[in-house]
Amino acid sequence: MDKNYPGLPPGLPKSKKRYVTAKKVLALLLTILFVVMVLLNIVEWLFMDHSLLGFFGQTKTVTEAFFSDFFMVLILTDLLVLLFSFAITDDFPKVMRNSGFVVSTTLIKLSFSVEGIASHLLVVMAVLFGTLMLRLYKMYRRIELPDDNI
């Protein structure tokens, strides 16, 4: 086991070890940010007027603001992971798959800014697009391409 990269198999290339370590650090920072965002939203909610009539409207407003902010952070995190992945691979299927996940997350975030059926359609489109990208990635992986010795 490598002392600089505990928990990772020793046979991995150094660039891949750095990539995995960067993703772990990013996940830890994202978790901390998520907890801080939850605590701030709870504090904001506690200091609101809690009349019985206004309760549901205010709760919806706080929830919408939280998810809008959280998905913005997720989009930025997805973009960072995509940029990190460029450092270790220029493999088209992997880049396509990772880019597809960024687009799916962006569509979900966009669904928060519209109301009614359009919101639901955007969420369905995001799920279908992400699923399609993953399926295309898996199909592409099964294709054996001839070596280019030109």
Containing structural domain, residue 35:
9-88
pLDDT value at 148 more than 60: no
Do 44 and 67 fall into the same domain? yes
Do 67 and 106 fall into the same domain? no
Do 66 and 104 fall into the same domain? no
Q: How far is the C-alpha of 102 from the C-alpha of 80, rounded, in Å?
A: 10
Do 61 and 18 fall into the same domain? yes
Do 113 and 50 fall into the same domain? no
Q: If you write DSSP's letter for every residue of 128-141 in order, what string do you get? A: HHHHHHHHHHHHHH
Do 13 and 78 fall into the same domain? yes
Do 59 and 77 fall into the same domain? yes
Does residue 86 or residue 61 have the better pLDDT? Answer: 86
Q: How far is the C-alpha of 7 from the C-alpha of 60, rounded, in Å?
A: 42
Final residue of a domain: which of 73, 88, 103?
88
pLDDT in tens, 22-48: 889 999 999 999 999 999 888 877 777
- Of 92, 93, 91, give the one whose Cα is nearest residue 139: 93
Any domain includes 2 = no
Any domain includes 150 = no
* pTM to 2 decimal places: 0.65
Do 30 and 47 fall into the same domain? yes
How many distinct structural domains can be found in the chain? 2
pLDDT in tens, 52-79: 556 555 666 667 778 888 888 888 888 8
pLDDT value at 133 more than 90: yes
pLDDT value at 132 more than 60: yes
Do 115 and 76 fall into the same domain? no
Do 37 and 103 fall into the same domain? no
- What pLDDT, on the 0 to 100 scale, is given for residue 49? 63
- What pLDDT, on the 0 to 100 scale, is given for residue 126? 96
Q: How far is the C-alpha of 14 from the C-alpha of 17, rounded, in Å?
A: 5
Do 71 and 101 fall into the same domain? no
Q: How far is the C-alpha of 112 from the C-alpha of 18, rounded, in Å?
A: 35
Do 53 and 68 fall into the same domain? yes
Any domain includes 26 = yes
- What pLDDT, on the 0 to 100 scale, is given for residue 58? 60
- What pLDDT, on the 0 to 100 scale, is given for residue 65? 76
Any domain includes 4 = no
